[in-house]
Structures are given as structure tokens and as C-alpha cells.
Structure 1
Amino acid sequence: MSYKKLGKYIQPVNIRNKDLKVERLLGVSIRKVLMPSIANTVGTNMKTYKIIKKHQFAYGPVTSRNGDKISIALLEDYNEAIVSQAYTVFEIIDSEVLNAEYLMMWFRRPEFDRYARYKSHGSARETFDWDELCDIDLPIPTIEKQQEIIKEYNTVVNRITLNETLNQKLEETAQALYKHWFVDFEFPNQEGKPYKTSGGEMEFNEELDMEIPFDWEVKPLVSFSDIKGGKRMPAGCSLTSKINNHPYIKVADLGTKKFAILNDKYEYVQNDIQSKIAKYIVAEGDLLISIVGTIGVIKIINKSLNNANMTENCMKITNFTKLNSSYLYHYFKSKQGQNEIEVRNVGAVQAKLPMYNIETFPITCPLDSVFQKFEVISNTIDNKIQKLQEEEILLKRIKNLLLSKMTKVEVEKEMV
């Protein structure tokens, strides 16, 4: 395959905001997007900042502070903005030869990040300078082929975005339902009307210092479930990226969505080591809560992580005799649940949520008839959420596959 030096197709842009006409300040994130800057610019001379226009790039040459990622992004959402003078702004010389979106796809490849980190140099701080960027080799097919690749990639990316939007709306719907029924106590009564505003009988609960529906109970979490801790890897043993039947759940792997689902970021316990920590596993439907570091990350275990090992930085809530993990998930996500997590942390140097403080969480337990109605609705929502999450993982694999296939694209012989 014929590769070309990138430097032949790009040129630096150095236009300063001398007239202060551009006010929108953006920064480049390690997710490779330009986003509103959070920098404190009080007293800063904004005339020295660089103007970046649509379809131009900005990148941060300093790589030592970014971990494994290179901060580089394409401006797509605005016609123009300003970025710090620390960034290098550049553009494509001829968009009929090289498409900006195609080039940005190349920059999103993990192989590019590894290459840039390898080529970075410097003693006090490592940088990936302009000359190194220009020295990159990449395949440049016909513009029609580039557009075909971009279209295929964007189809997948747009579907991922749609899934994330739908997922968020479903989670918000479920949380709103929980609040309406079990915080505001407006669950439907026997006539289908909101309980509290329709004059439903209430009684004062001393533990919660508030009124709750008549005949409801407040019980400690441990009275209807088991709370168990995880286990760190044995001394001298490490995880492996080689896939087997023993994924290891770390807090960093849990993500931001309701269900913990096996994905390509997980590492695994080697078969000969797993027997030493075999007792510390989770089951489908268990509820996980992080107890050290980032405290209060709450997830429900998906079937893909059934029997996975669990870090010592989490505890699982399992073997429910009343309620279920979805109800408790929304309790912990509620204002009351978040407040309880905060006040139950202990430790001056490093905060921790100890087992006893988890066991004694005061949980409002509705009548079975009310909970069963909620369970029917929440199960329907949860099934949709899990399907969207599972589909998103597959779509991200396809996206990464499309990026990796860029090295195999056929380059026309007549391309210069």
C-alpha cells in the first residue's frame, strides 16, 4: 500500500484574536473533542489567543500530561472559536484531496496515540511537535473513497449517540417514577389516583423524621439482603488482557450507565489464580456500590458479568428477600440515598464507606402490592436499557474496527 507524508497536505494557521471579536473559548479534551474551556481567564490577555475556524484542527504538543491520549480535535460544531496559544492550529491545504473528517478518523485510532507518545521527546516535559506530526505516514485514497469511509463511520457513531440519548431518557424516566411513587408518595391508589394528594393516610416515621404512607415500613438494608465485600488480587499476581471466564470488576470499568456489562476494557483473572479468590464473585442482578476512592458508584450486574470477580473497592448487595436491585439502585441515586452515602463515609485521609454503615441504610419498604406494580414497569424499562447498552458495546467494537481498517484501504495508483 502507498502511504503519504501528512506534512504535504496540511499547513499551520496562526491568526490571533487581536480585535477580541471572537469570545467562544474552547479547549481540546483527551476525548479528542473541542469543548468549552473551564480555564480561569480573569486578567488574561485574550488578544494572544488563536482563532480556529470550522474544519480546522487544534492539538496540544505537550503529551506527558495526557496519559495515553494525544489532545487533538477538529472544530465541527461552530464556525469559529478561540483556543489557547499553547495549542497548534492547522488546516488541510486542499479539501478536494484530503477530507478533514477522514484525517480526524486517523487521529482517533489508538495506534496514532501510541505512535505520537513514542515519538514524543523532551526531558522536563515530552512534546509531539509539528515536524513529528508532519512526518506521519497515512493512506490517502480518492476523495470519493474517503467520503465513503466517513459515511460508514458516521452511521455507527450516530447510532451510538442515539443509543446514549435513549438510554439516558429511560434512566431519567425510571428515576422520576421512583421519586413520584416512593419519595413524593404519589403512587396510584386502588382507584388509580395519586395516593398522597388524594388524601391517602400517612403516619410519622421517627427514623426518617418524616411522614410515610400508613403500613409502610423502614428497615435496615441488611434485614432483607446480604452485603459482601470484594477481594484484591493476591500479592504478586496481576490481571491479564487475555479473555477467559473470569473477568475482574474494577471501579474504573463500571462506566456511567445503570448496568455493569462486560466490555473490551475489562481485564481477567488468570485461571491458576482465580481459585484463590473464587469466593468473591458477583451474580446477575446483584447491586454494586463503590466504597473507596470514588464512593457511591452504583451499578446492577448484567448477565455478562455473572460469576465475575470483584475488586475490594466495591461491595455487593445480594440475596434479596424483599424489594430488588432496581428499587435500591434508584434509592441510592435519589437525593435521600446520596445524602446517606455522604454522611456514612468515614476516614480523614482516605474516605471509606464501611460495611456496617451500608448494612444500616434505612430503606423505605412499600406494601408488596405497590412494589409489584413498580417492578412490572421498572423491569420493562430495565430490559430496554440493557439491550441499548449491549448494542452500544457492539457498535463501539464496529467503530473501532472501522478505524483499524483504515490501514487496509485501497489507495488508487494515480493519487499523488
Structure 2
Amino acid sequence: MSELKKLGDLIDLIDERNKNGIIKTLIGVSIDKCFIKSVANTIGTDLSKYQIIRKFDFACSLMQVSRDGKIPIACLKDFDEAIMSPAYYIFRIKNTDEILPDYLAMWFMRSEFDREASYIAVGGVRGSMPWEDFCDMKLPVPPLEEQQKIVDAYNAIENRIKIKQKINEKLEATAQCLFEELTKNKDLFEIKTIEEISENVVCGKTPSTSVKEYWGKEIPFITIPDMHGNNFIHTTERYLSEQGKLSQAKQTLPANSICVSCIATVGLVSLTTQESQTNQQINSIICKSDVSFYYVFLTLKNMTEELKRLGAGGSTTLNVSKSLFASIKLKIPSEKDMQNFDEKVSPLFAQILLNEKELEKLAQLKRLIVSQIARK
């Protein structure tokens, strides 16, 4: 059985300063609960004022918790030591024979933890959470052997995810090499606009959210978060009903349409795997039958910076309009060369899709294990 304990009884607050300035690796914690290297220019900065964080120490920011709905918090594993801004709280487990760092890190990853923290922080200044309130939060602490079983199950999934990600990276690199080989003789290509190679260029649209009947589980409704890190879009946060799809039928995309994020976050490129629709931040290409959608997909993947430049246009928010997007010029090889290219890359992308689907299932398993900690 688990024993409910206050977090403050399990951890010690650490304030070790980089007095001699020897440690140069400056890091922070993202809202996604992982450490990131700082890109700040530290030349001429007095690094002696920064805090030292050591392996298996935790760091968190308790500012604006209720606004963000999350606490940026993580356990250091990738470095033996680093330095952090004094704005972070750094803490260490008092007794690892009582609670494992990995188990505590999993507790912090729970969405229920963030919801509880956000509720507590509502009364704080600017939605921040006092350290004392953080320490008063309670968690179940099962016997060490039980903790280790939970951690081992989680790590097994995490390792499987890393393997699949590496396989996909190699498959993507192979596809990129084949693309570069094809595009060596660009002088022989035709110059065509996106509109000229497309059956249709579609700017997405959001059906009325006040009509409940438009929303369901049938038709993937693609938004920019669904595109991050995915070559293929096989699951989405939201779905339309058949009625919702029919309410704006012209926005419907078939499988193998190319989606490109064009507002705010510009340059993400993904392929649909089934009939879908998108919101207005995404322009999509339905390629003509004699045009390789894989070739166009990889061409656009290699044009991220150009797309961003097009979207700048003197505005603070990047925006590549449908008309501007449709007028983008691409170098298109012959139909025969594209067919040969498709024969080579299709098996690669088929395996990438299978791996991405497995990665999604593994991510669901991770969330399930984390969510069940509170029930131990």
C-alpha cells in the first residue's frame, strides 16, 4: 500500500552558487517538462550568481502557474552538472531509499498534478505558486520495489520510443538522399507554381464550435499542434462529424494531401492519411495525378526558411496567404523521373507511417502508466 506524504517531507531546497564561475552550461526548463540549453549570450555575464544543478536534482519554475496551466519541472539526467537562473527552484530528494527520482519525475508529469497546482496557484501573485504551497502538495509513495516496477515499465516504453524514432530518422535521411540525388540536375526541370501542379489548393476553415452536431469522432480536424514532429497525420486532437464535414465540403482533403502551416507557425509540412479537414492556419495541396506528392512534400520540407520569409511581409505575425502560397514556384522533374522516385521512396514512407502509428500507441501507454500512479 502507498503512504500519502507531503512533497516537502521528501525533498530539500538547494541553493548552491557557481561561485568560481567554472560551470558554463546554462540550461532552463520548458513548459513540456524537459531541460533545454539556453541560447542567451552569456559573454560578459557574471556566472557566479547562477545556481548549480547536479545530476538527479530537480528544477522548477513556480511563476504564472495558473496562467500556463503547467509547472515547468524536470529531473536532470543528461548532464552531471549545469547552471540555472536564480529564478528557478532547485531541489533534491532527501532519501532515495524512500522515493526514486524517476518515480517523482513521473508524478510531476501527470496532468492531474498540473491541474492541482493551477488550482492552488490561483490565489498567488500573478498566478504564481508559493514554495510553501508546492511543498504542501501530497503524493502516494509506495514501497521502493513497487516504485521500481512502475519506473521499469515506463522506461521500457521510453526505450522503445527512442528506437523507433532513430529508425524513422534513418528512413527520413534515406528519403532525403534520394531527393537530393533526383534534384542534382535542376536545370532540366520545369518551373511550375503550386497552383499549376495541384488539383486544388485548399485553405482550411473551422466549422462553428457552437453547433455541437458538427463535432464528433469521424473526420480528423487538423490544427498546427497535430503537425509537430509528424510526417503523417494519423490522429488529431479534435474530430468533425460527417455533418460537420458536409457543412464545408469544399475544405475536405483526400489522403496524401500535403498540409503546410502558414500562419504564426510557418513551415510545418505533413501528409494526410485519410479524408480530413484543417483549420484556417493551414494551406493544403491536392496534387495532380501525374505529380509525385512525395516529391512535393520533400520539396516543401526543404523550404522552411523560404516560407518564413514569404510570410514575414512586414507583419509581426507570419502569414502566407492562400494566393501567395499558390503562387510559390517549384522545380518539377519529368513525370518518368517522379515515378521512379516514388518507387524508391514509397516503401520508406510506408515504414515511417507504421512507426509513427506505433509511437502514438506507445505515447498513450506512457500516459496510462503515469495516470495510474495516483491509484497505487
Relative to structure 1, is the Cα distance of residues 100 and 241 closer, same or farther in structure 2, using a 3 angstrom cutoff? farther
Larger radius of gyration: 1
Q: Whole-Å Cα distance in 2 between the matches of residues 35 and 374 of structure 1?
A: 38
Q: CA deviation at 1:388?
A: 1.0
Relative to structure 1, is the Cα distance of residues 322 and 23 closer, same or farther in structure 2, using a 3 angstrom cutoff? same
Structure 1 position 10 matched with structure 2 position 8: no
- Corresponding residue number in structure 2 for 1:57: 58
- Corresponding residue number in structure 2 for 1:119: 120
Q: Whole-Å Cα distance in 2 between the matches of residues 43 and 77 of structure 1?
A: 26
- Correspondences of 1:47-126 after superposition (within 5 Å): 47-64=48-65, 67-121=68-122, 124-126=125-127
Kept in 2: contact 1:92–1:100 (CA 8 A): yes
- Correspondences of 1:150-161 after superposition (within 5 Å): 150-161=151-162
Structure 1 position 327 matched with structure 2 position 327: no
Structure 1 position 165 matched with structure 2 position 166: yes
SS in 2 for 1:285: coil
Q: Deviations over 1:231-286 (max 9, x none)?
A: 433456378998511331112321123212214xx113356544322331111111
Q: Kindly report the root-mean-square deviation, in angstroms, between the aligned alpha carbons of the 2 structures.
A: 2.6
Relative to structure 1, is the Cα distance of residues 319 and 52 closer, same or farther in structure 2, using a 3 angstrom cutoff? closer
Relative to structure 1, is the Cα distance of residues 239 and 249 closer, same or farther in structure 2, using a 3 angstrom cutoff? farther
Q: CA deviation at 1:342?
A: 5.2
Q: Alignment partner for residue 212 of structure 1, among 187, 190, 205?
A: 187
Q: Alignment partner for residue 377 of structure 1, among 325, 334, 344?
A: 344
- Corresponding residue number in structure 2 for 1:246: 219
Structure 1 position 291 matched with structure 2 position 259: no
Kept in 2: contact 1:286–1:301 (CA 8 A): yes
- Corresponding residue number in structure 2 for 1:194: none
Structure 1 position 223 matched with structure 2 position 196: yes
- Corresponding residue number in structure 2 for 1:354: 321
Kept in 1: contact 2:228–2:268 (CA 8 A): no
5+ residue gaps, structure 1: 186-210, 410-416
Q: Deviations over 1:321-363 (max 9, x none)?
A: 21221110111123xx457645654854354333344334433
- Corresponding residue number in structure 2 for 1:262: 235
Q: Deviations over 1:286-316 (max 9, x none)?
A: 11122322233221112xxx22222122222
Q: Whole-Å Cα distance in 2 between the matches of residues 309 and 369 of structure 1?
A: 31
5+ residue gaps, structure 2: none
Relative to structure 1, is the Cα distance of residues 25 and 342 closer, same or farther in structure 2, using a 3 angstrom cutoff? closer
Kept in 2: contact 1:102–1:146 (CA 8 A): yes
Q: Whole-Å Cα distance in 1 between the matches of residues 211 and 81 of structure 2?
A: 48
- Return the structure number with greater helix share: 2
Q: CA deviation at 1:48?
A: 2.2
Kept in 2: contact 1:230–1:281 (CA 8 A): no
- Corresponding residue number in structure 2 for 1:407: 374
Q: CA deviation at 1:406?
A: 0.8
The total of aligned residue pairs comes to 374
Q: Deviations over 1:31-80 (max 9, x none)?
A: 21222222343444322221221111111121348722211111112222
The letter for the 2-side match of 1:301 is T
Relative to structure 1, is the Cα distance of residues 355 and 370 closer, same or farther in structure 2, using a 3 angstrom cutoff? same
SS in 2 for 1:244: strand
- Return the structure number with greater strand share: 2
SS in 1 for 2:235: coil
Kept in 1: contact 2:124–2:130 (CA 8 A): no
Q: Whole-Å Cα distance in 2 between the matches of residues 327 and 33 of structure 1?
A: 35
